[in-house]
Amino acid sequence: MTVTRKGACIGVAAAATVLVVGVTSVGATQQRSSAKQAGYVIGVSNGLVGNGWREEMICAVKAQSLASHKVSKVIVWDKNADAAAQQQGLRDLISQGVNAIVVNPQDRNALNPAIKLAAARNIKIVAVDQAVSAPEAYVASNDQVKYGFLGGQWLAKKIGGKGSVLYMRGAAGVPADSDRDKGFRQAMKAYPNVKIKQVFTNWNFTTGAQKAAQEIASGTKYDGIWTSGIDYTVVNAYKKAGLKPPPLVGADNNEFIHQLLTKADDGAAVTNPAVIGGVGTKIAIDLLDGKKVKRTTLLTPRIWSMPKDKVTLTKNYFPKRDPTFSAAVTVPGYTSYTPAQLFSCKGP
């Protein structure tokens, strides 16, 4: 699947295939020469397709691999999969001779056997976006508990500490969803008069819009909505019904930021950089280089709302990018690729 970014393209491996991506960028000869000195092969394991955030995550892995000049090949395993299928996918990557794997895990514990197998073969494992429990793995993630807490707290205060909230979660059982739920519930403890209805969206923008439309059609009125990043399509569902959406919490998705800036919608965006894939890649390369790396790297999320954060929101809105594009392009101290390399989504 390829997502067009209006002048920039981010390509993603087809859902049921494993792809080896060839270098096509300017200076490829020099980059190949540098890569051969180390010859690292980086695997990527992603178990959720059809989501722009995950697509950008994979592109960040490719871009950081290219920019490092130390990676000779990137192999992408990218399909809609449960934990059992993803574990087999990890074994497939291991069998292809990778030196490290950047994995966005579908389960906190179920991948541990494959992770232990990788470690036994001296393959470095970096879980990104969400944690795994295997002690052999390194973790690079947004602080997902704080993500849930910040958005929940903002929303509860916004609606005056009482009323009904539509709580639109991600995918049941997935670590990031469980962590965000923990943070959200912590925030809600201070607001016992907030009533919550929970639904799951599987982090699919179309599903989120459908769930919102169902609630609208039922006649149920909500004082606020918390979404696990499936935001702008929920706003659009209300607009399509001729209704003003209630205060809504989303992520730093490009179109949702645009909606906030139009002042037509009352909401807040919690940051969750998709380029965590690049962070995980930097950590994997450092490990392969023999450097000491802390076991867990947590990025601190921020919450942006109007009008307080208008300047920041304006700086992070890019009209030529896809609606689902995550606002953060780089992570200082970790990523070294250029924005052009990220947008082209071409790895070694």
Residue 29 shares a structural domain with residue 109: yes
Q: Is residue 310 part of a domain?
A: no
Q: Is residue 311 part of a domain?
A: no
Residue 260 shares a structural domain with residue 198: yes
Backbone angles phi, psi at 343, to 5 degrees: -70, -30
pLDDT for residue 4 is more than 50: no
Q: Average pLDDT of 244-253? A: 95
Q: Which domain range does residue 80 map to?
A: 2-142+273-299+318-344
Q: Is residue 304 part of a domain?
A: no
pTM: 0.78
Residue 133 shares a structural domain with residue 278: yes
pLDDT in tens, 175-207: 899 999 999 999 999 999 999 999 999 999 999
CATH code of the domain containing 9:
3.40.50.2300
Q: What is the pLDDT of residue 226?
A: 98
Q: Mean pLDDT of all residues in the chain?
A: 88
Question: SS3 letters for the chain?
Answer: CEEECCCCEEECCCCCEEEECCCCCCCHHHHHHHHHHHCEEEEEEECCCCCHHHHHHHHHHHHHHHHHCCEEEEEEEECCCCHHHHHHHHHHHHHCCCCEEEEECCCCCCCHHHHHHHHHCCCEEEEECCCCCCCCCEEEEECHHHHHHHHHHHHHHHCCCCEEEEEEECCCCCHHHHHHHHHHHHHHCCCCCEEEEEEECCCCHHHHHHHHHHHHHCCCCCCEEEECCCCHHHHHHHHHCCCCCCCEEEECEHHHHHHHHCCCCCEEEECCCCCHHHHHHHHHHHHHCCCCCCCEEEECCCEEECCCCHHHHHHCCCCCCCCCCECCCCCCCCCCCCHHHHHHCCCC
Residue 8 shares a structural domain with residue 128: yes
Q: What is the pLDDT of residue 51?
A: 78
pLDDT for residue 30 is more than 60: no
Q: What is the pLDDT of residue 41?
A: 98
Backbone angles phi, psi at 155, to 5 degrees: -65, -45
Q: What is the pLDDT of residue 321?
A: 85
Percent of the chain whose pLDDT exceeds 70: 89
Q: What is the pLDDT of residue 50?
A: 77
Residue 221 shares a structural domain with residue 113: no
Residue 115 shares a structural domain with residue 133: yes
Higher pLDDT, 161 or 14: 161
Residue 10 shares a structural domain with residue 135: yes
Confidence of residue 9 (pLDDT cuts 50, 70, 90): very low
Residue 251 shares a structural domain with residue 158: yes
pLDDT in tens, 138-153: 999 999 999 999 999 9
Q: Is residue 31 part of a domain?
A: yes
